[in-house]
Structure 1
């Protein structure tokens, strides 16, 4: 199996935390994310050439609005805020807890079954989060505890969006969900962002980060992800979630000089192991039947567990 595309996708999504870290202080979270989703909507707009896409967009306007808020507008904004206080590598690891929250929400709100392996994965993943943030919170730096909480809240939003979309958007073409969610996120965010629009000059390099967030990390990443699902299936494509923190840590260290501590690496390993258990990856690898829950990544929604 060709690993190039999954690695490329993980590298792109891992880089999104780097770009957020650079651009959020200049634009502020609201203006930055309004630009991100607006640019992504423009990149994905060519899907409107299809009459079927336009029909599905009209028929599912309300669920797409909910997904646009819960999978883009809100979590993107929360992550943008968190990068004002914590580094890109830590943010990318906290994002990797998404399948854990997905499983908890599925069990609590959508009456999904929760097996012993998943429960063990949830507890292990949460223990990894505690280890990961223990030193950071204990350092007593103002704003850091709230930033960690907002990053985890963003992952919770992704978990809700996955469950909601599975129930209300099943059978809808994936790129309809991709475009519709970005469109509605833009509609929601733009009026809120205008009062906070930066009044100072923005460096060209920062504008480049904004363009990269919208064009590459959102628009192009959607296209690449759904192409990957079509070619190799959703289960294999979902494995990219285990690579995102790796690239998040690498990009943060290379371009921002972020330090990789033993505690951070240990916490990352425990979180990913818990995520693998909670999402049923070990069972699926050995060919066992399981009721694994769908997973979500930054900037994407998976509708079901098989390729469309």
Structure 2
């Protein structure tokens, strides 16, 4: 929707239906989770909605304005822009206090954070940027609807309760992802 309204990027009816079905599934998943685990603060789900809107803006800017820039160049620009705020946050949060640095697991934890940032963030960001460039933004960002489904599994590992309605909501999300990709798959055959 943001691609159409702000960037004049067209989309199919299947893609619109898929986005709306997926959004409904995500809202249902959050609502049903709040019924099963009422002692949690669900206002943070609003941050996920804001992040999703910004994610859509990112994908559409890449598709409409940065098509000629390499995926690596886009990722480098993103991370260069984030360095100063990240450093400020790191120093003011106490993340590198002597208590933390002298902790028994500091070096191994730092190693895992570096590994995760290189593989899980940098490489994934370059691949995502390239995916946007060779496909549509709607197709590329449809995977974000899977994040709540993955969150359910992490919740199960953490001991949270889980309801049948959350399974239904997850199925609705997967249906939305299917609808977004339906036209693309049909045109490839």
Asked if Structure 1 and Structure 2 have the same fold, meaning a TM-score greater than 0.5 normalized by the shorter chain, the answer is yes
Higher helix share: 2
2:170 aligned with 1:273: no
- Unaligned 5+ runs, structure 2: none
**Contact 1:129/1:271 (CA < 8 Å) preserved in 2?**
yes
- Unaligned 5+ runs, structure 1: 1-103, 289-308
- Distance change (3 Å), C-alpha of 1:257 and 1:215: farther
Q: Which has the larger radius of gyration?
A: 2
After superposition, the C-alpha distances for 1:247-270 in whole angstroms (9 at most, x for unaligned) are 935862686455554322221221
After superposition, the C-alpha distances for 1:46-76 in whole angstroms (9 at most, x for unaligned) are xxxxxxxxxxxxxxxxxxxxxxxxxxxxxxx
Q: How many residues were matched structurally?
A: 178
TM-score, normalised to structure 1's length? 0.47
Match of 2:110 among 199, 203, 207: 207
2:187 aligned with 1:287: yes
Match of 1:248 among 135, 140, 150: 150
After superposition, the C-alpha distances for 1:105-152 in whole angstroms (9 at most, x for unaligned) are 11222233354323322331222122101123344435x222111122
2:165 is matched with: 263
Measured in 2, the distance between the counterparts of 1:129 and 1:243 equals 7
**Contact 1:249/1:260 (CA < 8 Å) preserved in 2?**
no
Measured in 2, the distance between the counterparts of 1:263 and 1:154 equals 25
- Distance change (3 Å), C-alpha of 1:162 and 1:283: same
2:4 is matched with: 107
**Larger RCO (CA within 8 A; separation ≥ 6):** 2
**Contact 2:32/2:166 (CA < 8 Å) preserved in 1?**
no
Measured in 1, the distance between the counterparts of 2:120 and 2:29 equals 25
After superposition, the C-alpha distances for 1:12-69 in whole angstroms (9 at most, x for unaligned) are xxxxxxxxxxxxxxxxxxxxxxxxxxxxxxxxxxxxxxxxxxxxxxxxxxxxxxxxxx
2:119 is matched with: 216
- Distance change (3 Å), C-alpha of 1:121 and 1:247: closer
TM-score, normalised to structure 2's length? 0.72
Match of 1:141 among 39, 50, 53: 39
